[in-house]
Structure 1
């Protein structure tokens, strides 16, 4: 990407950015998927041509789904959600029929570690918590609850 004039982001090594005047082009790569976006249509076309000449790849058109996040383009703007991700997560934990709650956790919850409490599968707890952390990117309303239960990752009960 550097030979095409792109700079690698310091905060995310999979993000490459090129600015030309007041226009910008961004490329983010995850394993064998990539997103090309920006407001510099000429640069995006040129980069696409360069990438196709260097790599065997397909253009899947406008972004619809990436890493468990659905992207919807409407007149009012671009919206993202993780509906399928949530449904898969609920199925994994056997809670497809659960009832939604407006407040996922009460304040002053009183959760704490207890010596006599029965331990649970730490690996499963950590995997599920990782999925909830990822879900909180599009669901900031669960961030508080996820933060609280994250405190018990080392020895879940």
Structure 2
């Protein structure tokens, strides 16, 4: 990770990633010749993404971000949900009360959308919830809170990229 100070802003952060350490270092030297840079070392935390490395591979998660969502929604002490959404939801036909202030719903769904970077397990549900951003109702808000309770089961869940891979693509589908 490189922190490049410029005369227009105090810091501009940049992540340099590659599979050739020599080329990465060469690129950093080029940038250093053009700008004032400070190398912050290996990438560990950036915009809510946490990176853990070991010889087996790289693990990406958003644990702190997920815990912040739990705290901000007041659900830190709530009972976790085993599923992010009920299978037979009727959100499209909701007649519940429209939310007086939809901004909190929009903010929560936006945060959940950002969490899908490392949590593909909630991607479908967040997609459903985002369809009601223009006019959310109480049922939609309750469904979003259920997703947050689902996240409480495993806030540190993320993506693992093994260093040794057989380059075989595997796909999974959860459909009825």
TM (normalized to structure 2)? 0.66
Equivalent residue number for residue 103 of structure 1:
83
Do structure 1's residue 75 and structure 2's residue 36 form an aligned pair? no
List aligned pairs for 1:14-93, cutoff 5 A. Answer: 32-93=12-73
C-alpha contact 2:98 2:135 (8 A) present in aligned 1: no
Question: What are structure 2's unaligned runs of at least 5 residues?
Answer: 1-10, 138-176
Deviates more, 1:107-116 or 1:126-135: 107-116
Instruction: State the distance in 1 between where 2:51 and 2:101 align.
Output: 34
The superposition leaves residues 85-131 of structure 1 with CA deviations (integer Å, 9 ceiling, x where unpaired) of: 01111111111112322211111211235556232422221121111
Do structure 1's residue 118 and structure 2's residue 98 form an aligned pair? yes
Pairwise CA RMSD = 1.8
Instruction: State the distance in 2 between where 1:116 and 1:98 align.
Output: 23
C-alpha contact 2:109 2:126 (8 A) present in aligned 1: yes
How far the C-alpha of 1:79 sits from its partner, in A, is 0.4
Deviates more, 1:116-125 or 1:89-98: 116-125
Instruction: State the distance in 2 between where 1:103 and 1:57 align.
Output: 46
Instruction: State the distance in 2 between where 1:92 and 1:76 align.
Output: 34
Do structure 1's residue 142 and structure 2's residue 122 form an aligned pair? yes
- Could you say what secondary structure the match of 2:91 adopts? coil
Instruction: State the distance in 1 between where 2:80 and 2:124 align.
Output: 16
C-alpha contact 2:105 2:133 (8 A) present in aligned 1: yes
Higher strand share: 1
Instruction: State the distance in 1 between where 2:71 and 2:39 align.
Output: 32
> Aligned residues, how many?
127
How far the C-alpha of 1:143 sits from its partner, in A, is 1.4
How far the C-alpha of 1:41 sits from its partner, in A, is 2.3
